[in-house]
Amino acid sequence: MRELGFDLRSHRSCPLDAELLSWADHVVVMEPMHAEVARRLFGGVEESSKIHGLWMHQALPADHVADPQGQSLDVYRASAREIGTSLKAFFDPAVTASRSGA
């Protein structure tokens, strides 16, 4: 991911748990199953409003964001672009609202 400006050498995935969820302001997931697991871990309605489906912000309609795990480097690159574009679409309205005082 260095070609995109990220140094992920020290990054390690970790299992999602209630403590991690309670720490987060927003939880962005790649597919509906992930959202359902997170909602079950949270348990409350207020907390579950922090869970956002990234697939809902893709340029083309889709029911999930493809996971590149185990795929070729080209698939990882394509997935990184897709995730980046979707994250930008997710965060841009929030940033604009924050800057305007809304």
Tens digit of pLDDT for each residue in 34-60? Answer: 888 888 887 765 667 788 888 888 777
3-state DSSP of the chain: CHHHCCCCCCCCCCCCCHHHHHHCCCEEECCHHHHHHHHHHHCCHHHHCCEEEHHHHCCCCCCCCCCCCCCCHHHHHHHHHHHHHHHHHHHHHHHHHHHHCC
Residue 71 pLDDT greater than 90, yes or no: yes
Distance (Å) of CA 36 to CA 26, 60, 95, 96, 99 = 15, 23, 26, 29, 32
Q: What is the pLDDT of residues 76-88, one digit of tens each?
A: 888 888 888 888 8
- Contact call for residues 19 and 45 (beta carbons, < 8 A): no
For the segment(s) 14-93, the CATH number from 3.40.50.1860, 3.20.20.80, 3.40.50.2300, 2.70.150.10 is: 3.40.50.2300
Angle CA(37)–CA(81)–CA(95) in degrees, nearest 5? 75
